[in-house]
Amino acid sequence: MRVLVVGSGAREHTILWKLAQSPSAPRLYSAPGNGGTGLIAENVAIGATEIDRLAEWALANAIDLTVVGPEDPLAAGLADRFRRVGLLVFGPTKDGARIEGSKAWAKELMNRYGVPTARSATFTSPTAAEEYVKSQPLPIVVKADGLAAGKGVVVATTHEQALAAISQLMRDKTTGSAGDRVVVEECLEGTEVSLLAFTDGSTVVPMVPACDYKRVFDDDQGPNTGGMGAYSPPRFVTRQMVEQIEETVLKPVVHGVAREGISYSGVLYAGLMITSNGPMVLEFNCRFGDPETQVILPRLKSDLLDVMLRTAEGRLGEIQVEWHDKPSCGVVLASGGYPGEFARGYPIAGLDSLDADALVFHAGTKRQGDDIVTSGGRVLTVVATGRDMREARQNAYRNAEKIRFTDIHYRKDIAAREL
């Protein structure tokens, strides 16, 4: 079995790490990968969105399964291209990836199938959007329709902020064509959780819930990042709530999408707000979350390769997916300055001094001679489990403290709300 994982973050390193434990002992490839993936897989120097080159390489190397980490290649049609030439892919086609790539379409779908979400309106004209915003109560949320790498959402507390956001997205095109349409929606109050599911287009298998931390500093201060840490499971999400989300969100969406003529397979990621009226959808992603994956997959008891193959082949209903009870906590070690300007190329020390059961997943790292050096904003995710969240958290931080590089920065409050 030969498996290619597309992407270069800690999410992809985690997927590879879990695949490496499969009893099928797959040969693993990572494109383009990073300094950590190169230790357990063969890094292939092709970018995640170079779809034609990836397809040619996968054909030439007789790849049995391709797993796609990030959204961009899916939105650009990687799965369509691969399937046309007979290659098996874990991840949705371009049509399915619209669930993440177009917030307006995701909203239409949710409204059509009765999925609980914030009240919203979609606009193609900035003037109409501005008129609407002025008539709405505060706070109000303005979102670019398209993929905007986390820069397309503004939670505005004043009308001026909302109007400025509309103007930037629609007139100044600060997120490019992502701002051709905007969704303006009601602001929801509550606590956020991510619930991801495996789906082959008919069977839906929820994973364990996880919480991520998007702001760069403790207490959710500072700018948004790709994610500074995560933990699983959150105490405020009960088993019963997971079932409720499965029935009111995940299944209606997967079955609704099928009714629209789209066979959706791979991961469906629901970003939810747990409100006083129950769980409501903030967004969907068409892929694994980062850093959620780093804390979810260590809790998976089943063989990930088997789950992924069955998902891709439409046979997910044939198995039970099992999870460990032990909670997990993951802390992202970042380059100081991220998500703004930061320096690269600092040697990373301490990687070989970690506890035997601590996990470290690489993102912005690369191999330089015998050293591993920093090469990105988010550098590593250190993950640990424990008998309870307190212990998982202590284990994660004790190991995070052993790692050193110049200007290291990480949040100290990951999972603190669970204590």
* Residue ranges that bind ligand AMP, judged by CB under 6 A: 118, 141, 143, 153, 155, 185, 187-188, 192, 271, 282-283
Nearest distance, CB of residue 148 and ligand GLY, angstroms:
12
- Alpha carbons within 13 A on the beta-carbon side of 258: 13
Beta bridge partners of 143: 153, 183
Nearest Cα to Cα of residue 272 among 183, 193, 208: 193
Here the tokens at position 169 are 């997205």
Nearest distance, CB of residue 188 and ligand AMP, angstroms:
4
- The reply on whether position 12 binds ligand GLY by CB under 6 A is no
Nearest Cα to Cα of residue 206 among 219, 195, 217: 195
Beta bridge partners of 184: 121, 142
- The reply on whether position 227 binds ligand GLY by CB under 6 A is yes
Nearest Cα to Cα of residue 212 among 266, 153, 271: 271
CB nearer to ligand GLY: pick between 170 and 193: 193
Q: What is the DSSP letter of 348?
A: P
Nearest distance, CB of residue 354 and ligand AMP, angstroms:
31
- The reply on whether position 100 binds ligand GLY by CB under 6 A is no
Where does this chain touch ligand GLY (CB under 6 A) — which range of 253-261, 284-292, 369-377, 384-392? Answer: 284-292
Q: Using CB under 6 A, which of 12, 290, 303, 418 touches ligand GLY? A: 290
CB nearer to ligand AMP: pick between 140 and 334: 140
CB nearer to ligand GLY: pick between 294 and 385: 294
Give the list of residues 6+ apart from residue 36 with CB closer than 8 angstroms, or none: 10, 13, 360, 361, 362, 365, 372, 380
Q: What is the DSSP letter of 249?
A: I
- The reply on whether position 229 binds ligand GLY by CB under 6 A is no
Nearest distance, CB of residue 132 and ligand AMP, angstroms:
15
Q: Where are the alpha helices (DSSP H) in 113-250?
A: 126-134, 159-166, 239-245
Q: Of ligand AMP, ligand GLY, none, which one sits near residue 292, judging by CB under 5 to 8 A according to partner kind?
A: ligand GLY
Q: Of ligand AMP, ligand GLY, none, which one sits near residue 95, judging by CB under 5 to 8 A according to partner kind?
A: none
CB 45, CB 55: distance < 8 Å: no
Q: Of ligand GLY, ligand AMP, none, which one sits near residue 289, judging by CB under 5 to 8 A according to partner kind?
A: ligand GLY
With contacts defined by CB under 6 A, how many residues of the chain interact with ligand GLY? 6
CB 193, CB 123: distance < 8 Å: no
- The reply on whether position 292 binds ligand GLY by CB under 6 A is yes
Here the tokens at position 165 are 């956001």
CB nearer to ligand GLY: pick between 227 and 377: 227
Question: Residue 209's Cα: distance from chain center in Å?
Answer: 13
Alpha-carbon span 310 to 289, nearest angstrom? 20
Q: Of ligand GLY, ligand AMP, none, which one sits near residue 408, judging by CB under 5 to 8 A according to partner kind?
A: none
Q: Of ligand GLY, ligand AMP, none, which one sits near residue 145, judging by CB under 5 to 8 A according to partner kind?
A: none
Alpha-carbon span 79 to 54, nearest angstrom? 11
Q: Of ligand GLY, ligand AMP, none, which one sits near residue 155, judging by CB under 5 to 8 A according to partner kind?
A: ligand AMP
Beta strand segments in 240-388, E: 266-275, 278-285, 328-335, 359-362, 365-368, 371-374, 378-385
Question: Residue 22's Cα: distance from chain center in Å?
Answer: 23
Q: Of ligand GLY, ligand AMP, none, which one sits near residue 212, judging by CB under 5 to 8 A according to partner kind?
A: ligand GLY
Nearest distance, CB of residue 201 and ligand GLY, angstroms:
22
Residues in contact with ligand GLY by the rule CB under 6 A: 212, 227, 285, 289-290, 292
